Amino acid sequence: MTRLNGKTAVITGGATGIGRAAAKRFIDEGAFVFIFGRRQEVLDAAVAELGPNARAVKGSVSDEADLDRLYAAVKAERGTLDVVFANAGAGSQLALGKITAAHIDETFDTNVKGVIFTVQKALPLMGPGGSIILTGSSAGTTGAPGMTAYSASKAAVRNFARTWAEDLKGTGIRVNVLSPGATATELAKEALGEEGQKVFASMTPLQRMADPAEIGAVAVFLASDDSSFMTASEVAVDGGLAQL
């Protein structure tokens, strides 16, 4: 499988869950992948598993200096960049009436500001044929209890692809949103709990949560030339959750 042969990719949140599954698929398809996240030991474990075509840079998407270090590392080792998977994200539930300013800031710093600077700072290394993939969520479309900040942040991400497709006209760089539904990762466990995960699985027409590899497979499609006429789109990989 060589759909990403010779390409260089950055995957934020690439040490765990959806990002790690995507990193494995990208490398299987011939890519060289930089993963980015805040926990060194988790990054180290992921690189050990992903092998010689993976590098890790430690940092937060909400810290511009950390992102500058990430792209300096990409430039130093690879020169240019073909794919950015802005996937790092976080969220927790707080019902209307209990929402705090800190909760909003924390969610938006990662999911909104973090995605903007992840992409903006990548652009000087990218050129025609480049692909930007943003992780959205079924929550950006549907309503769910206690999800004000998270769902609003993901609705913002959905619009980024529309707005940036305009801003990127003439560059040959595409930008699309990949929106998972309930997917079996640490984030889902923490945000929904065991009971919440069962509820989301039962609400999903396919009657289960996704395996992260099922999201990674679609990330490969959006990263590759197989999706060469797609930009500004949202691809739902949600077992039908947000589609009925």
Ligand X SMILES: NC(=O)c1ccc[n+]([C@@H]2O[C@H](COP(=O)([O-])OP(=O)(O)OC[C@H]3O[C@@H](n4cnc5c(N)ncnc54)[C@H](OP(=O)(O)O)[C@@H]3O)[C@@H](O)[C@H]2O)c1
For residue 130, state whether it binds ligand X (rule: CB under 6 A). Answer: no
**Does residue 56 bind ligand X (CB under 6 A)?**
no
Q: How far is the CB of 7 from ligand X (least distance, A)?
A: 21
**150 annotated active-site:** yes
In the complex, least distance from residue 90 CB atom to ligand X, rounded to whole angstroms: 5
* Number of Cβ within a 10 Å radius of residue 207: 10
Minimum CB distance to ligand X smaller for 79 or for 195 = 195
Residue 216 near ligand X by CB under 6 A: no
Least separation in angstroms between CB 96 and ligand X: 20
Which tokens belong to 209?
A: 């949560």
Asked if 154 is an active-site residue, the reply is yes
Sheet holding 174-180, edge to edge: 54-58, 32-37, 8-12, 83-86, 131-135, 174-180, 234-237
Choose one: 14-22, 68-76, 218-226, 228-236; the region binding ligand X (CB under 6 A).
14-22
Residue in 154, 169, 189, 198 annotated catalytic: 154
Q: Per CB under 6 A, does 61 bind ligand X?
A: yes
Q: Whose Cβ is closer to ligand X: residue 42's or residue 116's?
A: 42
Residue with tokens 């992921």: 46
154 backbone dihedrals φ, ψ, rounded to 5°: -75, -30
Q: Which residues within the stretch 74-103 sit at the binding site for ligand X (CB under 6 A)?
A: 87-91
Please choose, out of 35-43, 74-82, 122-130, 166-174, the segment that lies near ligand X by the rule CB under 6 A: 35-43
Rg of the chain's alpha carbons, rounded to an integer? 17
What distance in Å separates the CA atoms of residue 188 and residue 202, rounded to the nearest whole number? Answer: 15
| Residues 173-212, interacting with ligand X (CB under 6 A) | 180, 182-183, 185-188
> Biggest alpha carbon distance in the chain?
51
In angstroms, the CA 176 to CA 8 distance is 18
Structure tokens at 224: 């590759």
Residues found in the chain: 244
C-alpha to C-alpha distance for 77 and 80, rounded to whole angstroms: 9
CB of 205 to ligand X, least distance (A): 16
Q: Which of 7, 75, 150, 189 is catalytic?
A: 150
Could you tell me the smallest distance in angstroms from the CB atom of residue 170 to ligand X? 29
113 binds ligand X (CB under 6 A): no
Return the residue of 3, 38, 158, 162 that touches ligand X, per CB under 6 A.
38
E strand segments, the chain: 8-12, 32-37, 54-58, 83-86, 131-135, 174-180, 234-237
Site residues for ligand X per CB under 6 A? 12-13, 15-19, 36-39, 42, 60-62, 87-91, 110, 114, 135, 137, 180, 182-183, 185-188
Which residues are designated catalytic?
150, 154
